[in-house]
Structure 1
Amino acid sequence: MSLPELPAIDLTEIVASLQDGILLITLRNSRKTNSFTEKMSHDLIRVFQWGDADDRVRVILLTADPKERAFCAGADMEEVIKGSVLLGRKEDSEDEHRDPGGQVALSIYNNRKVTIVAVNGHAWGSGFTSLQLPFDFRFIWAGAEITLPFLRLGILPESTSTYLLSRLVGQSRATSILLSNAKMRPDSPNLSSLYQDILPNKEDVLPAALSFAKTIAATSAPVSITYTKGLLHHPGMTIEENHLLDSRAIKRRGASKDGEEGLKAFMQRRSPNFPDTVSGETSWYPWWKSRDVNQPKTKL
């Protein structure tokens, strides 16, 4: 079954375009400083799923209009107060509720393509948790203010951030970031290792991220990216298990058309043209069993 084209996807709080293998997504809820809403969560999930499935997409890049004060101002508090799904509707049971920020984070973290975020404004709450932590690469404006207001509001950090942040910066730094209620800058000792690059001007962030994305799109084998992300996110329980996974992945990639093309391109000193597609890689990947969190009956 053919995929719908981007214009056929009904997006209202983001805009998206595809060019040269790069799916560029821009937050556009400017009336509320790009606040994170239930509709924005649906839009983001749909477009990341689309990018995952379409073989033309090599890299997915998220950003916001640099003219806006905030990259994302966190959850839409008016929506929260009215009883939106962001904190769980009253009719939801504890087992049935699914955090929308977490659903967005899963669609990004589990994406088979390279994901990059260009944070060109202040990032509060969800603008840090769901819209930064699950990405493969993060570029940010040096002047961005990062604020996590969760504990002051009597709630808690969402979007699987307790899991992701401790994996990214270590348990001690994650604890300091999530429990201190501090306002931080990207060059904070606890935060700086998160970022691929910290740019001095807001206007520099997207061009830097885009240049990086173009290099990856032009030079990296998509299926090899998929395997590498899978090994990073779903390693074996021991080094021996990892060795078995590595060995099988290396054998499969080495015997692939991509592997043949990569070696030829290297010997001929030319750019590779990798023929294998992510959608065609189904015989072994994924090698792990995923839990269907969208099913209401799925419980801990």
Structure 2
Amino acid sequence: MFSVKMSEELIRVFQLGDEDDRVHVIILTADPAAPAFCAGADMDEVVNGSALLGRKEDKEHEHRDPGGQVAMAIYNNRKITIAAVNGHASGTGATALQLPFDFRFIWAGAKVTFPFVRLSIVPESTSTYLLSRLIGESNAAYILFSGDGHKPDAPFLAGLYHKILPTRTEILPIAIEFAKNVAYNIGQVSYAYTKGLLHRSGASIEENHLLESRAIKIIGTSKDTVEGAQSFIKRRRPKYTDTLSENASSWYPWWKPLDVKKPKSKL
């Protein structure tokens, strides 16, 4: 069950993983023997007035959705993030714990449910933003408005999952194998820049061209770029050594993050 405590712990984990140069990949999964990957919010907390739906003492502009805070911590993480979904997923288990990840692997027998409208609440965890970007607005509308449970291979979920595997026990080993392959073959800085260009692209193709051009120029003289060219020529695995703490440009991030922690934050 997703709780306020769980949200705080997840945010801390992804913050630490982002800051530590030794970390290249973060994988989230569940005990394969558990009845579900995540069955959604802890309803006892919801009924008792926790921060999940907003504390009674909070004014409407002061509430910050814990699931959204988790989703942003994952989405803005500069490392490779993987959701290894080895069970049924509902509510936050289908939103914050899946949508903001770079890659998603799932068990074919899992049931994925977005029940918010049926519960007379609105979708959380920035899912209205992420889901429409991942599968298109039409498919996102169908999933969110119907509130039905779906199998991972449902046509309107096409493209959401990178691999759908037949057994629950396969999910984590396959995710780890994939993580190793990606981590050993990608430079940490170039990955972060590319992720930023996808998530924080320009408002037009011209603006995106300017952003890409500057990133290319900045990283073009790096040790990792030289190593990448040499490994390609010599047909060997690259040995990238540049790190975000030491080699990321002061230009990155090029966008101005909105401070969502302050109640009076303005859009």
| The two structures share one fold, judged by TM-score above 0.5 | yes
Counterparts of 1:65-214 in structure 2, within 5 Å, are 65-214=31-180
Q: Distance in 1 between matches of 2:95 and 2:235?
A: 42
1:168 match: secondary structure: helix
CA RMSD of aligned residues (A): 0.9
1:89 match: secondary structure: coil
Task: Give the TM-score normalised by structure 1.
Answer: 0.87
Q: Distance in 2 between matches of 1:187 and 1:156?
A: 25
Partner of 1:226: 192
Partner of 1:289: 256
Task: Give the TM-score normalised by structure 2.
Answer: 0.98
- 8 Å CA contact retained: 2:2, 2:40: yes
- 8 Å CA contact retained: 1:120, 1:140: yes
Pairwise CA distance, 1:270: 2.0
Deviating more after overlay: 56-65 vs 276-285: 276-285
Partner of 1:31: none
Q: Distance in 2 between matches of 1:52 and 1:183?
A: 33
- 8 Å CA contact retained: 1:75, 1:126: yes
Compare relative contact order (CA 8 Å, sep 6+) and give the higher one, 1 or 2: 2
| Number of residues of Structure 1 aligned to a counterpart in Structure 2 | 266
Pairwise CA distance, 1:269: 2.3
Matched, 1:248 2:214: yes
- Long gaps (5+) in structure 1: 1-34
Partner of 2:202: 236
Pairwise CA distance, 1:196: 0.4
Pairwise CA distance, 1:94: 1.1
Pairwise CA distance, 1:282: 4.0
Give the share of equivalent positions with the same residue, in percent. Answer: 65
Matched, 1:275 2:241: yes
Deviating more after overlay: 282-291 vs 129-138: 282-291
Pairwise CA distance, 1:127: 0.3
Pairwise CA distance, 1:299: 3.0
Question: Counterpart amino acid of 1:251?
Answer: K
1:64 match: secondary structure: coil
Matched, 1:60 2:17: no
Q: Distance in 1 between matches of 2:235 and 2:174?
A: 27
The structure with the greater share of residues assigned to strand is: 1
Q: Distance in 1 between matches of 2:58 and 2:252?
A: 34
Pairwise CA distance, 1:278: 1.1
- Long gaps (5+) in structure 2: none
1:287 match: secondary structure: coil
